[in-house]
Amino acid sequence: MNPLTPDLQHWLDLAGIAVFAISGALLAVRKNFDVFGMAVLAFATGLGGGLFRDLVIGAVPPAAFTDMGYFLTPLVVTVLVIFLHPQVERINRAVLVFDAAGLGFFCVVGTIKAHEYGLGTVAAASLGLATAAGGGVLRDVLANEVPALLRWDREIYAVPAIVGASSVALLLRYDALNNVTMTVSVLVPFVLRLLALRYNWRAPRAWHRRSAATEDGAGAA
Amino acid sequence: MNPLTPDLQHWLDLAGIAVFAISGALLAVRKNFDVFGMAVLAFATGLGGGLFRDLVIGAVPPAAFTDMGYFLTPLVVTVLVIFLHPQVERINRAVLVFDAAGLGFFCVVGTIKAHEYGLGTVAAASLGLATAAGGGVLRDVLANEVPALLRWDREIYAVPAIVGASSVALLLRYDALNNVTMTVSVLVPFVLRLLALRYNWRAPRAWHRRSAATEDGAGAA
Amino acid sequence: MNPLTPDLQHWLDLAGIAVFAISGALLAVRKNFDVFGMAVLAFATGLGGGLFRDLVIGAVPPAAFTDMGYFLTPLVVTVLVIFLHPQVERINRAVLVFDAAGLGFFCVVGTIKAHEYGLGTVAAASLGLATAAGGGVLRDVLANEVPALLRWDREIYAVPAIVGASSVALLLRYDALNNVTMTVSVLVPFVLRLLALRYNWRAPRAWHRRSAATEDGAGAA
């Protein structure tokens, strides 16, 4: 059971889409794209993860195309970033906090929706992770950048989402999802991501790379 | 109501696929890909936008996989470009005119098909835009280039498609789509795109970038 | 009729996913990604082709999300490559042989599955090719590399898959698929790919490129 009221879930959805859309629009500014490029990246980042999930579970047309709020949110974000991007950049730290909240929220609701469509525990958790991280990967692929999700020199992003999605999937399996356990499932990835940002937690790479020269050179390849 | 006869629509479809496929095959030549790379880019550019639309609206298997003409068109284009690419490059201006026609046509038929599958006005217009511009984005992503659609230093492409798709979506909403209004909806984006090419119309970027140095440098990032 | 027993097909599926996943994980090591980047590329390479096929034919949720073995295989591969990648690199030649076997197997089973979902001869063969080659394309796009499939300076990969997929599609059409003809259909692309690797077979590029300088320069563009 999804313990969120439809109304509350909808507003949290829009908030999550908004913070992801900001990161897309800001990357477009940094890449010197025009305002339509900004809108495309805002839409892709805000809605891409949920779109992928909905195509996989067969929920067509996907929510991104049936809810007016989902359409307007990236649009409003784009307009705001067009005029206020220096200010938005300056509060980049705050944006990262909101993005961490979006990460926690989306990995949980993505898992719940996949479970509602009949997917098993592992598949639902995988789609929760894809919902949370897919938009950012699409953003980077469209902007012709190496996805931040894959890069070694970025703070961990997948781990908090995996923790959140897996715990919700297990709670669903053992029928233990309620307001309390779900809130905890959102907060744990949120806090993990904030700690990762604060203390520069990075995931390890493959074991025993033999020479430092190779390491430094590989990034440029 | 779709005022096109099925036969006429099919021939216009094939013409649109052909001009998009040409741009894919030519990019493959410029990137020094082999003939199979040319074919892959021709298929992706010609059919990618419609494939995305069909997956989103749940029209599976997508038209790209059920119509023999859709399969043969990019193939024939690839063979022609293999042997005639210097000539095709020389008539690049003519190809751009055909591409503008394809843009106008696809944003209109994409919107109509999405509407026939029950999507609302805004969602149908968005998918019309995706039908028209999606193939080119997929082409650039596969070729590891920054999508031309997003770049500031390219003539506007999204605006004409947005105008065409939105007007058709509104005409459908108010039940006013007929031969005349539909032809106008195809011609307006076509002419807008030609004017954009002729007069180098570009979309603005985010407001008030502070230093020219940043601007010039950002493109290389 | 699919002459494979379900059990045998499943084990061959897993073997094919494993060898594709190895190539994804190894590319991640070369790109200096962290262990989660390795897992993402292993999943994308091992499961991407079949995922695309399943979305196109409307087989949702795709097999990649309903079979526990499909999930565990890329995971086990990632763990092995994390600890043994120098050894895996050293047997890279052996990996290429397995990859060739995966290519032959996937182009055949992909075609059969598409045919079972009602697609025609050409569409089924196209999806067989997409099943075999799609994972590698997704791997390269995610890693921000020009897809090896498109590059002129790589041994042919598409041709063996096209041969295998087309012959199976024709065998299905003329109701002549049995244990013998199917085994031959797997072996022919396998052997073709091995010969291509052994003798550096490359596909031609567009006809009559005028200057060698252009050719050499284009690759760096």
Digit-coded pLDDT (tens) for A118-174: 999 999 999 999 999 999 999 999 999 999 999 988 889 999 999 999 999 999 999
Give per-residue pLDDT as tens, C196-220.
999 999 888 888 655 444 444 443 3
Q: Report CB contact under 8 Å: C204, B86.
A: no
Which chain C residue has the Cα nearest residue B72? C122
Which residues, including other chains, have CB under 8 Å from residue A98's CB and lie 6 or more apart? Answer: A15, A18, A19, A22
Å from B81 to nearest chain C CA? 7
**B218: confidence class by pLDDT, cuts 50, 70, 90:** very low
DSSP B1: -
Is the Cβ pair A151, C68 closer than 8 Å? no
Chain A residues whose beta carbon lies within 8 Å of the beta carbon of residue C143: 146, 150
State residue A213's pLDDT score: 41
Q: Which two tokens stand for residue C92?
A: 């890279």
| C142/A141 CB distance under 8 A | yes
Instruction: Inform me whether the pLDDT recorded for C58 exceeds 60.
Output: yes
Across the strands, what pairs with A151?
Answer: C33
Q: What is the pLDDT of residue B127?
A: 95
Residue B150 is nearest to which of A37, A55, A81, comparing CB atoms?
A37
Find the helix packing angle between B6-30 and B121-142, rounded to 10°: 30
With beta carbons under 8 A apart, name residues in chain C contacting A119.
61, 65-66
Tens of pLDDT, residues C173-194: 999 999 899 999 999 999 999 9
Question: How far apart (Å, rounded) are the C-alpha atoms in residues C83 and C80?
Answer: 6
> Are residues C141 and A144, on separate chains, in Cβ contact within 8 Å?
no
Q: What is the pLDDT at residue A220?
A: 39
In whole angstroms, give the CA distance from residue C208 to residue B84: 9
pLDDT per residue as tens digits for the range A17-68: 999 999 999 999 989 999 999 999 999 999 999 999 999 999 999 999 998 9
Chain B residues within 8 angstroms (CB to CB) of chain C: 28-38, 40-41, 51, 55, 58, 60-62, 65-66, 68, 71, 81-83, 85-86, 141-144
Position C163 scores a pLDDT of 95
pLDDT attached to residue A119:
94
What does the DSSP assignment read for chain C? ---S-HHHHHHHHHHHHHHHHHHHHHHHHHTTBBHHHHHHHHHHHHHHHHHHHHHHHT-SS-GGGT-HHHHHHHHHHHHHHHHHHHHHHHTHHHHHHHHHHHHHHHHHHHHHHHHHTT--HHHHHHHHHHHHHHHHHHHHHHTTS--TTTBTTS---HHHHHHHHHHHHHHHHTT---HHHHHHHHHHHHHHHHHHHHHT----BSS----HHHHHHHTT-
Nearest to A61 among B123, B145, B158 (CB): B123
**B31 vs C144: CB contact, 8 Å cut-off?**
no
State yes or no: pLDDT of C3 exceeds 80.
no
Token digits of residue C72:
């565990």
SS (H, E, C) A171-183: HHHCCCCCHHHHH
- The type of residue at C1 is M
Residue of A nearest to C38 (CA): A150
Best mutation site among B138, B139, B142, B150 for testing chain A: the one with the most A CBs within 10 Å?
B150
On chain A, the residues whose CB falls within 8 A of the CB of C80 are none
Q: B36 and C119: CB-CB below 8 Å?
A: no
Q: Which of A158, A208, A218 sits opposite C36 (nearest CB)?
A: A158
Report the pLDDT value the prediction gives residue A111, as an integer from 0 to 100.
Answer: 96
At CB < 8 Å, which residues of chain A contact B?
28-38, 40-41, 51, 55, 58, 60-62, 65-66, 68, 71, 81-83, 85-86, 141-144
Confidence of residue B43 (pLDDT cuts 50, 70, 90): very high
